[in-house]
Amino acid sequence: MNPSKSTLDDLIDEGYYDPHIHRVSAIRGTELHASNWQIEGPLRMLFHVLDENVAKDPRNLVVYGGSGKAARSWEAFENIVDSLLAMRPDDTLLIQSGKAVGVFTTDARSPRILMSNAVIVPAWANWDYFRQLESKGLTMYGQMTAGSWAYIGTQGILQGTYEEFGAIADQRFDGTLKRRLVVTAGLGEMGGAQPLAVKMHGGVALVADVDSAQIDKKIRQGYLDERCESIDQAVQRALAAKDRGQPLSIGVLANAADVCTYIVRERVVPDVVTDQTAAHDLLYGYYPSGVDKAKADFWRSADPEGYLAGVRETMRQHVTAMLRLMDEGAVVFDYGNNLRAQAKEAGVDDAFRIPGQMVFMRPLFEEGRGPFRWTSLVGEEEDIRLLDEELLTMFPQNQKLEKWIQNASKFVKFQGLPSRVCWLGYGERDRFGTRINQLVNTGELSGPVWVGRDHLDAGSVASPYRETENMLDGSDAVGDWPVLNALLNAVSGATWVAFHHGGGVGIGLSLHAGFGLVLDGSEDSASRAKRVLTADPGLGVVRHADAGYRRARELAAEKGVRIPGADSGGSRHRQGL
């Protein structure tokens, strides 16, 4: 017997999926298709991440971040949907790299889905081997939130970038970027969030990109104010705006290396310098200086070796100039795009004098803070607005949160199901999740809400070039933490739990975990929210306390996070007891 209300054919008839052209649309409304909301929730999040307004390349199931996919193939997608629609309330579906592989009867309080994406035995974990497996149809690259169905469009990266520049403002400039100049590059999919994030903190952003169309696109989307054709003119405009204290963002059609070299030559010292070209990908992600984009594209196809030599030389100049600016007093950091490592290979021996972005973000992780997010599963925009207000009422002291919500409600256009993201920490996520569930229960929200987060979070990732670079105790590459995170969220009752390999920085370089939790207004949901939303950020506090971070240890003591040995200050053996 099939306990569900619908079949895949019904979803096709309702216009949510067209199997001929593989078009997927977010499912809206209060009517259930699966047997309950704990199963309907993941079904809706799968459709949401593949919606035309959300996914980068929906026809190929690619959601974002290079080739981060939501399902391995269209056949696999249809099997996942069939499985979800046929599941009973105490079934658990297993997804292996984007393909449904089994359903087991577990318990109504267990997760409804367990997924593992792109995980490869360490000695084989490189891109070449991954591509071999992929071409045999045996695996899928899930990035962080693509394969775990937690992507909410460009709002996620805008908020993360807002937090990054906010942390810099707090730690270096009295909490604001007003009268500060940020020089950076890359107006792509993710880097394009930089100008708006800097402006939200009151600063001036000067952003180089070699792609004219990309500059215009970011202006159209409201992420960038204006464009300049010459470096000289752009620098003059930026400095004038800085002097006036006027928040402004300027896109300049130029190579990043040329902008930094020009600034060094003219003895301008910006307040902050970074880069978000896609430097991790030498061949396609970073353009060489001296030729325009069209000529560079031709050069790449005609003479790849010569082209790569040009790229390496440009990176050498670029990072040499960044180091000079750092020595002259600018706050310079690597924005997780592997530019330092590439420059080192190109001959800049001291490239790693430039710190990674975690210098600024780690204090947030110590408090279990990270990109918490929620989505109206019925597609109601008003519900997100109501939750914005609720958030500000519940956390009135948090000015950065208030500024973010004000800006987000003004600038962010919803994509797919309406969603919101903000950084909440230990002791905050469980309170807010519990409140959301209450509001679903009382009918003040028009339907159930999904909550989850990015895998880039306090206790859920091991990524030595990014989130766990330079940990105090040298535990950068210890991969136990994301495994523990996934297991903990599963036993705490998350609706689904995902363990991934290779997100953010690529295959071989990271392990990470995520979860989804459907708040349907029930008592069961309330207790899941309390457990999952305490344990998940709690593990972030534990991970940082274990590595020796003082704030994490203090917070654990203040809030009663139990850490064996913390009270006695170490082991009895060491004390000779």
Residues annotated as catalytic are 422
One of 159, 249, 274, 337 touching ligand NAD (CB under 6 A): 337
**Contact call for residue 151 and ligand NAD (CB under 6 A):** no
Tell me which residues in 29-88 interact with ligand NAD (CB under 6 A): none
Q: Which of 466, 501, 531, 553 binds ligand NAD (CB under 6 A)?
A: 466
Side chain identity at residue 347, one-letter code: G
Alpha-carbon span 304 to 456, nearest angstrom = 34
Contact 138, 97 (CB under 8 A): yes
* Closer by beta carbon to ligand NAD, 114 or else 321: 321
What b/e string do you get for 163-196 counting C-beta neighbours within 10 Å, with b at 16 or more?
Answer: bbbbbbbbeebeeebbbbbbbbbbbbbbbbbbbb
Between 339 and 556, CB nearer to ligand NAD:
339
Task: Quickly list H helices, 245-303.
Answer: 256-265, 293-302
Residue 104, SS3? strand
Q: Which is nearer to ligand NAD, 277 or 492 (CB)?
A: 277
Biggest CA–CA distance in the chain, Å, is 75
In angstroms, the CA 488 to CA 151 distance is: 22
| Smallest separation (angstroms) from ligand NAD to the CB of 465 | 9
Specify the stretch interacting with ligand NAD by CB under 6 A; choose among 82-90, 241-249, 330-338, 423-431: 330-338
Check binding of 188 to ligand NAD (CB under 6 A). yes
- Using CB under 6 A, pick the residue from 335, 374, 426, 496 that binds ligand NAD: 335
Query: Whose Cβ is closer to ligand NAD: residue 179's or residue 293's?
Result: 293
| 191 near ligand NAD, judged by CB under 6 A | yes
* CA proximity to 62, closest of 86, 98, 89: 98
155 Cβ contact partners less than 8 Å away, ≥ 6 residues apart: 408, 412, 415, 419, 420, 421
- CA 144 – CA 502 distance, rounded (Å): 8
Q: How many CA atoms lie within 13 A of 112 on its CB side?
A: 23
Return the H-helix or E-strand segment holding 448: none
Instruction: For the segment 347-366, give every residue that binds ligand NAD (CB under 6 A).
Output: 357
Asked if residues 74 and 152 have their Cβ atoms less than 8 Å apart, the reply is no
250: contact with ligand NAD by CB under 6 A: no
Q: Shortest Cβ distance from residue 554 to ligand NAD (Å)? A: 26
**SS3 (DSSP) at 497:** strand
Backbone angles phi, psi at 312, to 5 degrees: -65, -40
The footprint of ligand NAD on residues 267-326 (CB under 6 A) is 276-280, 285-287
CB of 555 to ligand NAD, least distance (A): 23
Question: Interface with ligand NAD includes 208 (CB under 6 A)?
Answer: yes
Residues listed for the chain: 577
Alpha-carbon span 333 to 340, nearest angstrom: 10
Task: Give the nearer residue to ligand NAD in terms of CB position, either 335 or 365.
Answer: 335
186 binds ligand NAD (CB under 6 A): yes
Q: Is 190 in the site for ligand NAD (CB under 6 A)?
A: yes
State the helix-helix crossing angle for 429-441 and 523-546, rounded to 10 degrees.
Answer: 170
**Angle, vertex CA 350, rays to CA 345 and CA 356, nearest 5:** 90
Nearer to ligand NAD among residue 83 and residue 289 (C-beta): 289
Of 151, 79, 103, 87, the C-alpha closest to 514 is 151
421 binds ligand NAD (CB under 6 A): no
Q: Does position 173 bind ligand NAD by CB under 6 A? A: no
| Cβ-based nearer residue to ligand NAD, 83 or 277 | 277
Selected from 143, 148, 159, 214, the binder of ligand NAD by CB under 6 A is: 214
Binding region for ligand NAD (CB under 6 A) out of 80-88, 331-339, 475-483, 559-567: 331-339
Residue 455 engages ligand NAD in binding (rule: CB under 6 A)? no
Name the residue number minimizing CB distance to ligand NAD: 188
Q: In what order do the strands lie in the sheet with 226-228?
A: 226-228, 248-253, 204-209, 181-185, 272-273, 331-332
Kindly state the smallest distance separating residue 105's Cβ from ligand NAD, in Å.
40
468 is a site residue for ligand NAD (CB under 6 A): no
Residues binding ligand NAD: what is the number (CB under 6 A)? 29
- Looking at the Cβ atoms of 34 and 49, the one nearer to ligand NAD is 49
Among residues 34, 50, 256, 439, the one that binds ligand NAD under rule CB under 6 A: 256
Binding site for ligand NAD (CB under 6 A): 157, 160, 185-191, 208-211, 214, 255-256, 276-280, 285-287, 335-337, 357, 466
